[in-house]
Structure 1
């Protein structure tokens, strides 16, 4: 019989952060920082910017830990949500800067960079058009890394339904991104 390590208790660590325990924040960073960086990097398409997003996310996690409500979701999900929202806010602000600040015009000669910003904003718009459960399926699958079976358990839905939602939602995203 092998003993498994106890599961990391995100909620307990967030409660400790709310009480001012800096070591709890450090443990959260050690456990989840690399995955949060991966999420931010996928969204902003730049490692340095993603590192800034994660830095800001951990500041927000620290300063708002007392507002975390375990009745509304998991601690880990809350941390991912903060990171994702900060990354999307960054993309939105970049898009506004591109639209409103003509002084940036010479910097936009790198069409790959501009395409990346616009593609991220477009993806957000397309995701927002999906029904909440279908959007949740995609987020759980592609951001949280859950299997279809894990998503089915989390959403208390039949496995076949979850598979169909993921498949149809991906098709809708492809069409929307067209």
Structure 2
């Protein structure tokens, strides 16, 4: 991770701690710092710009109301991404809309996942993703990048739900270990 990226992560963490203390200016600064990237993540899931903007607004309302739920384990940025992903999935379920994603190739998914990282992180992420079995890699990418639920993936890939959950859980554990190495 570059010095600039580390500084950015520290800034996000510091701002979220200030938001926990109900600092409105910190929320504004956090929004300015992260909203572009979060909107990109949300849009990849909901596939509709006005819906994505609404979800982003909902995410920051939740950040304001639920900042105290961030316990400092892991990065604040990851916490924000999980909140954005979950809010996006909730919106999809609410409007009963589903993104169209090709299940034939995961190259497009991989490219869209890595576009927000620098070249060094792209190499590490690509290397680690390609150490996973093909169906595990595809399941993780379709779930975390395009918002498929575990049950939708199980049906799409014709496997039992328990198998899908195990693939994703073990795959994420393998990715974490690989990226930490």
- Structure 1 length normalisation: TM-score? 0.59
Match of 2:23 in 1: 21
Shift of the alpha carbon at 1:87?
A: 0.6
Inter-CA distance 144–24: structure 2 relative to 1 (3 Å threshold): farther
Larger radius of gyration: 1
Shift of the alpha carbon at 1:79?
A: 0.6
Match of 1:32 in 2: 34
Shift of the alpha carbon at 1:118?
A: 2.8
Inter-CA distance 149–167: structure 2 relative to 1 (3 Å threshold): farther
Map 1:122-133 to 2 at 5 A.
Answer: none
Which of 138, 154, 159 pairs up with 1:170? 138
Once residues 45 and 24 of structure 1 are traced to their aligned partners in structure 2, the CA distance between those partners, rounded to angstroms, is 29
Match of 2:7 in 1: 7
| Offset from partner CA, 1:57-110 (integer Å, 9 cap, x none) | 001011111110122x11001111111110101111222xxxxxxxxxxxxxxx
Q: Which has the higher helix share?
A: 1
Q: 1:18–1:65: 8 Å Cα contact kept in structure 2?
A: yes
The structure whose RCO (Cα within 8 Å, separation 6+) is larger is: 2
Which of 116, 119, 127 pairs up with 1:145? 116
Once residues 32 and 166 of structure 1 are traced to their aligned partners in structure 2, the CA distance between those partners, rounded to angstroms, is 32
Once residues 57 and 140 of structure 2 are traced to their aligned partners in structure 1, the CA distance between those partners, rounded to angstroms, is 33
- Structure 2 length normalisation: TM-score? 0.59
Aligned-pair RMSD on alpha carbons? 3.9
Match of 1:79 in 2: 80
Q: 2:16–2:26: 8 Å Cα contact kept in structure 1?
A: yes
Structure 1 unaligned residues grouped into runs of 5+: 96-116, 127-137
Inter-CA distance 143–78: structure 2 relative to 1 (3 Å threshold): farther
| Offset from partner CA, 1:98-127 (integer Å, 9 cap, x none) | xxxxxxxxxxxxxxxxxxx2336x89xx9x
Once residues 75 and 13 of structure 2 are traced to their aligned partners in structure 1, the CA distance between those partners, rounded to angstroms, is 7
Q: 2:55–2:84: 8 Å Cα contact kept in structure 1?
A: yes
Which of 87, 99, 124 pairs up with 1:119? 99
Is the partner of 1:66 in helix, strand or coil?
helix
Shift of the alpha carbon at 1:167?
A: 5.3
Q: Work out the number of aligned pairs and report it.
A: 135
